[in-house]
Structure 1
Amino acid sequence: MAMTLRLTDAQQEALRVTAEREQRSMQAVAADAIERYTSERNSRRNEIFAKIMDRDSDLLDRLAQG
């Protein structure tokens, strides 16, 4: 799937420098960054939900009973 990603000049330069340093394409570096970002966000969200479920399990049970 094609996508246009608009970056500031500074962001593009940082991506270019990183890709060059790692001997990878800018696309590969950007795709990896997106994958790590979304994975970390999803993991963090799941941790928060688990804490809420644990902390408020009695309340959630009462609400479920209606």
Structure 2
Amino acid sequence: MTLRLTDAETDALRRRAEFESRSMQDVAREAVREYVERHSHDDLIDRVLDEELPRYAEALERLAQ
């Protein structure tokens, strides 16, 4: 895989990596991992809500009163 960044993105990544005393590759890989984990979690929550919330809608309405 080749990742093409703008000059500004490359500069920001370079500065961040230098600040953390890490390689640009390490910082970029961690960012990708965090992105995937965050969105996977969000997708799971959305799926559970879509599937389970209707099951308990009536009970939730009664609790809200």
Q: Smaller-chain TM-score range?
A: 0.7 to 0.9
Cα RMSD (Å) of the superposition?
1.3
Residues 7-26 of structure 1 correspond to what in structure 2 (within 5 A)? 7-26=5-24
Residues 1-66 of structure 1 correspond to what in structure 2 (within 5 A)? 3-57=1-55
Q: What is the rounded CA distance, in whole Å, between the counterparts of 1:31 and 1:47 in structure 2?
A: 24
Uncovered stretches (5+) of structure 2, i.e. residues with no partner: 57-65
Q: What is the rounded CA distance, in whole Å, between the counterparts of 1:38 and 1:30 in structure 2?
A: 12
**Equivalences, count:** 56
Following superposition, the deviation at residue 56 of structure 1 comes to: 2.7
TM-score, normalised on structure 2? 0.81
Q: What is the rounded CA distance, in whole Å, between the counterparts of 1:8 and 1:42 in structure 2?
A: 27
* Runs (4+) off by over 6 Å: none
Uncovered stretches (5+) of structure 1, i.e. residues with no partner: 59-66
